[in-house]
Structure 1
Amino acid sequence: MGFVHHSNYLRYFEIGRTEFLRSAGGRYRDVEAAGLFVVVVHVDCRYRMSAKYDDEIQVTTRIAKVTAAKIVHEYVIARDGKVLVEATVTLAVIDREGRLQRVPESVIQ
């Protein structure tokens, strides 16, 4: 087909989140080592144009909102300056038993 399947954009968002954390000096593995997990609880995605396989895309990630136990990230995926996808992803922080936890400072800096 040549076009990127819509479900793959969720992977791009995850990569964007991970790299965003890394650029701030954090590592997701350290969050897990502390017994915490950041899980997706809501995705709102607007597909404007499709990426094609082998396209070079840019994923822009920013923190839009932080509450005691949730983080909202906003994403823009673009190719050659043209917006392909815009999304908002809400994440919650849980412990090993699945109980809601406070967002650690290391995740939002």
Structure 2
Amino acid sequence: MLSEHEIAIRVRYPECDPGGFLHHSRVFIYFEMGRTELLRASGGNYRRWEESGLYAVVVHAECRYLKPARYDDLLRLRTIVRRVTGVKIEHEYLLYREEELLCRGRVVLALVDAEGRIQPIPEEMQTVHVEPRRADRAK
């Protein structure tokens, strides 16, 4: 399982407020895109989890907005697995325009069954090698 993955995202017109700035709520959609593609690049996918009766739910989400993005900006989202426990997965997100950090976020996921009961994280997710924070990720 990969511990880090990057995707490119172009800010689309309907994602912006009337002033042409990326609406703050869209960043969490970008975060979901990032973790979905990290899982896919690792050979997994959410559809298989759901077919087996597991559902990923967000138990915590936060974002620190540093600078705005605008319509048609080309962004780069780095998704990093920061911590995996028996029942939770923590991701960090760094959203850049070129080398300029626009925002950083964190989302904690848990897996539940169809009745909403917490389920253990699958073995393939627990084997991720989590890298220590590098200097460019410091606050």
Q: TM-score, normalised by structure 2?
A: 0.75
Amino acid corresponding to residue 117 of structure 2 in structure 1: R
Give the partner amino acid of 1:21: L
Do residues 55 (structure 1) and 86 (structure 2) align? Answer: no
Partner of 1:76: 94
Give the aligned partner of residue 25 of structure 1.
43
Q: Max radius of gyration: which structure?
A: 2
* Structure 1 Cα separation of the partners of residues 121 and 82 of structure 2: 14
Quick check: 2:84–2:125 contact (8 Å CA) kept in 1? no
Distance 1:10 1:85 in 2: 11
Shift of 1:107: 3.8
Q: Runs of 4 or more off by more than 6 Å in structure 1?
A: none
Structure 1 residue 80: Cα displacement: 1.0
Q: Which runs of 5+ in 1 are unaligned?
A: none
1:40 aligns with 2:68: no
- Letter aligned with residue 20 of structure 2: G
| In structure 2, distance between residues paired with 1:99 and 1:27 | 21
Instruction: Please state if 1:105 is matched with 2:123.
Output: yes
Whether the aligned pair in 2 keeps the contact of 1:26 and 1:107 (CA below 8 Å) is no
RMSD value, Cα: 1.0
TM-score scaled by length of structure 1:
0.95
Whole-angstrom CA distance in 2 between matches of 1:35 and 1:107? 16
Aligned partner of 1:88 in structure 2 is: 106
Give percent identity, aligned residues only: 48
Equivalent position of 1:12 in the other structure: 30
Give the whole-Å Cα distance in 2 for the aligned partners of 1:11 and 1:106.
25
Deviation at 1:106, TM superposition (A): 3.5
